[in-house]
Amino acid sequence: MSDNNNIVWHDTNIKREDREALLKQKGAVLWFTGLSGSGKSTVANAVEKKLYEASRATYLLDGDNIRHGLNKGLGFDTKDRIENIRRIAEVSKLFVDAGIITLTAFISPFIKERNDVRGLLGDRFIEIFVDCSLEACEGRDPKGLYQKARAGEIKNFTGIDSPYEKPVSPEIIVQTDIKSVDECANQILQYLNTNGFI
């Protein structure tokens, strides 16, 4: 039996607006989604570097790195993938409340889970579709994962034997098989600037 009925939200004196005023920016989540090898982490890293150089407070949550700690023990079947994204959404919400520009690089293959994150974060959720063809991603294969998936050594691999559901109307689309990393990063910075996040 859950004891949630005995848990009461404790309001704090310092609010998100106070933290944002201190940092001179708006907390937001830049949610990078796309196939493995599409360039999510690479572009996210480039964006964070540019934001840092502009004296902005940021934090990058990378899919592989998170699975070394917070989401250690989660597998890659549908149930664990959903839980992986749910946890990241809750962590991201805390960062947004802190006024931090948070960058998340996760395949996050399912539309429903990404929409759930959007529901949690509202207008602070910025979905960035890192659009790159399966052929290009597989050609890059920086970690050798596609090769292992094709050989049957990895099960439930997105794009091979597990689906990837493309975003329907993301805020930003970056085409990493056409544009350079720097061009993609600048496109995202322009969006943040135009929409008053920085």
Give dist(CA 181, CA 184) in Å, integer: 5
First to last CA, the chain: 45
Strand pairing partners for 130? 174
Identify the pLDDT of residue 2. 58
92 annotated among ligand-binding-site residues: no
Contact (CB, 8 A) for 74 and 83:
yes
**Residue boundaries of the structural domains of the chain:** 15-194
27 annotated among ligand-binding-site residues: no
Give which of 138, 136, 135 is closest to 176, Cα–Cα. 136
34 annotated among ligand-binding-site residues: yes
Helix (H, G, I), strand (E, B) or coil at 35: coil
36 annotated among ligand-binding-site residues: yes
Identify the pLDDT of residue 3. 66
Question: Per-residue pLDDT for the chain (198 aa), expressed as one digit of tens each?
Answer: 556 777 777 788 899 999 999 999 999 999 999 999 999 999 999 999 999 999 999 999 987 777 777 788 888 888 888 898 899 999 999 999 999 999 999 999 999 999 999 999 999 999 999 999 999 999 998 889 999 999 889 888 888 988 999 999 999 999 999 999 999 999 999 999 999 999
For the domain made up of 15-194, give the CATH fold: Rossmann fold (3.40.50)
Active site residues: 108
35 annotated among ligand-binding-site residues: yes
Give dist(CA 138, CA 27) in Å, integer: 34
**pTM summary value:** 0.89
